[in-house]
Chains A and B, each alone.
Chain A
Amino acid sequence: MKIFADSALSFISERPDATERSRAWSIFETLGLPTTSDEVWRYAPLGELDLDRFLVAPTSTKSADSQFASQLRDQAGLVVRVVDGYYEGSDSLPDGVTVETAERVSSLSGDSILARYESDTFAILNDALTPATTILRVANDVHVERPIVVLNTTSGVASFSRTQIVLGRGASATIVEYFEGGHNALVVPLSEYEVGENASLRLVTYQRLDSSAWHVARTTGFLQRDARLHQAVIGMGAHYNRSRNDAELLGAGSHNELRTTFMGSGAQVHDFRTHQFHKAPRTQSTLLSKGAVAGESRCVYTGLIEIEKGAKRTDARQTNHNLLLSPHAHADSVPNLDIRENDVMCAHASSVGPLDELQLWYLESRGVSRRDAQRLIIQGFFYEMLATLPHDLAHLVEGDVTSTLELMKVDQ
């Protein structure tokens, strides 16, 4: 029996836009799942992925929030709740903020979802199988003081959440997209962000799924003139953690800062891909990816900076540092540049290596135990990633990093 396909077709037949969804589904059937011979997926353990382990959720199954989620909720000015991809409502909204759902939307690029993501199997699945798109808007010139938390929880199903965040001209907000749950689940979120002229979006994507989950996420930011998108992506959970984070710098003077962080243990695979696409003059992107892999975990960072002809005085920087905490862990770094304009500034730096023996010895020579020395240095390694988060959130994440480190065996 084809559990996944049957549940998907049954889900689709119940939706008002079943015709469009069926079209996406048939494209998925034609494409099939990618294989590792496809460059874009070469590091994914796709051989282990059996879609028939997953049922497409016909409704949402609520569960109690983790302690972490409750703490996050306490800090939030607004909580938008999404369960198994289904929008479940929100608190009362601050002035100038609206939340709605729509069965069928276009990409914020203006294209249809299918056209925009035509070669991405998982995005096409999301097009066919998302319950609805949750759309969060901040009106022009509205400054939202307290963080907005989009709280995504997943039960043991295939879930396809879709989120669009739109900041109007001159608006500013801090938004946390948070994911938890997902025991034996397939979690395929597709998010888009439109940052209007001179608007500022501080975005934190925190993935804290169960270590059995498959997480295949994709985000794209669209930046208008002088817009600022500061995005932090933190991946702690999942068995396979795929995170593709793109930005299109469409307006002159727009600025994208992206920091991706992960901590791998057991047999986890962290697979980060980025694409910074500079289409206008004086645009800036700063990309910092830092992670640690322990046990038999693996990570890969594949980053592309693309600069269009005419995007003069663009400044693009990519930095990638990985810590190897075990001889069986593995890290790859694959930077790429595609530059079609001469008047630009581009820089790239990367490093992969174990903890510094002399730093460890320095701490040990003060009387710090080996284990504490490792913990302190690893925490220090992550410090610069946490330093830019909103203070209260940084505190929460730091506690999470510390408790993960306590469970993590450093084999060095």
Chain B
Amino acid sequence: MSTLTIEGLRVEVAGKEVLKGFDLSMQSGEVHVIMGPNGSGKSTLAHALSGRPGYKVLEGSVKIDDEEILGLSPTERARHGLFLAMQHPMEVPGVRPVDMLVAAGADAHELRERMTLEAQSVELRSDVLDRFVNVDLSGGERKRAEVVQLAILRPKFAMLDEIDSGLDVDALGAVARRLSRATSEWNCGVLAITHFRRLLQELTPTKIHVVTEGRVVATGGPELADDLERDGYEPFRPANS
């Protein structure tokens, strides 16, 4: 059992403070969902946790169990069990997924076979796995390929940045079921950033956090998604902003 704890996180991007004291705590096997309007800092959180260049931490702490990870390189953060499935995964020409995963520490034994099985579970054509990383993949294929990597690398905590965009309803269902299975299979903690409830139909959230203007303004159970669906984010916005 592991814990991911984010406390008082302030992050600046391009000279602008985007996260303004972000707090969140979750355990292995839980599913936490972050919802919020555009520009509220959801993706910034995911990128800052993964150590994306240009994301400057001003203050705060992010721990996996008792270890502070903000001082670690992106590689070390990943090796401590943090994975980010990106909203816009980069193309890496000339690099094959298999070679990337082996370099990332995946067990090379029967890797290709395991990748094929994982691709099937998210309805991704397996020949896509032989192409260079994200090169000539559609938006939806990239998202599914991210989930294949996630399933191979088995992180303690998986962050998913709008995994639902670019996926059709059937593919989204398959991805949600795969993630749900991950929470029991290796007790994966899932932190999903999304605009849509549909993901949550087959991936039951432990908690939903509403984020506006760089911090969590409300936390609740699955019923919070219904409130958002009905009323939008307006009731959660700070007054006079």
Contacts and interface: CB of A to CB of B under 8 A. Distances in A.
20 contacts: A358-B90, A361-B50, A361-B53, A363-B92, A363-B103, A363-B104, A365-B52, A366-B78, A366-B101, A366-B104, A366-B149, A366-B153, A367-B78, A367-B105, A376-B100, A376-B103, A379-B94, A379-B95, A380-B94, A383-B93
Given A366-B78, A380-B93, A358 B53 contact: yes
Residue of A367, A368, A369 most packed against chain B (CB within 10 A): A367
B89 interface: yes
B103 A372 contact: yes
A365 B93 CA distance: 17
A280 B50 CA distance: 57
Which of A357, A361, A366, A377 counts the most chain B CB atoms within 10 A? A366
B129 interface: no
Contacts of A364: 51, 73-75, 78
Interface of B: 50-53, 73-75, 77-79, 83-84, 86, 89-95, 99-101, 103-105, 132-133, 149, 153
Q: Of B50, B51, B75, B93, which is in contact with the most chain A CB atoms at under 10 Å from its CB?
A: B75
B11 to A, nearest CB: 16
Instruction: Point out which of B86, B93, B95, B103 has the most chain A C-beta atoms below 10 A from its C-beta.
Output: B95
Given A364-B75, A366-B149, A376 B84 contact: no
Interface of A: 356-359, 361-370, 372-373, 376-377, 379-384
Contact of B95 (A357, A367, A370, A376): A376
B153 A367 contact: yes
A266 to B, nearest CB: 25
A363 B73 CA distance: 12
A362 B78 contact: no
A394 to B, nearest CB: 13
Given A367-B153, A376-B100, A382 B94 contact: yes
A366 B100 contact: yes
Contact of A365 (B84, B95, B105): B84
Given A361-B52, A365-B84, A377 B92 contact: yes
B17 to A, nearest CB: 21
Contacts of A363: 92, 95, 100, 103-104
B189 to A, nearest CB: 17
Contacts of B74: 361, 364-365
Contacts of A383: 93-94
A384 B103 CA distance: 21
B90 A362 contact: yes
Contact of B94 (A362, A366, A372, A384): A384
Give 6 nearest A-B pairs by CB, closest first: A380-B94, A367-B78, A383-B94, A364-B74, A367-B104, A362-B90
Contacts of B53: 357-358, 361
B78 to A, nearest CB: 4
A365 B161 CA distance: 14
A368 B103 CA distance: 5
A389 to B, nearest CB: 15
Nearest to B135: A380
A370 B89 contact: no
Contacts of B75: 364, 367-370, 373
A261 to B, nearest CB: 13
A380 B95 contact: yes
Contacts of B51: 361, 364-365
A295 B101 CA distance: 29
Contacts of A356: 90
Contacts of B153: 366-367
B93 A367 contact: no
B105 A380 contact: no
A383 B94 CA distance: 6
Contacts of A370: 73, 75
Contacts of B84: 365
A335 to B, nearest CB: 22
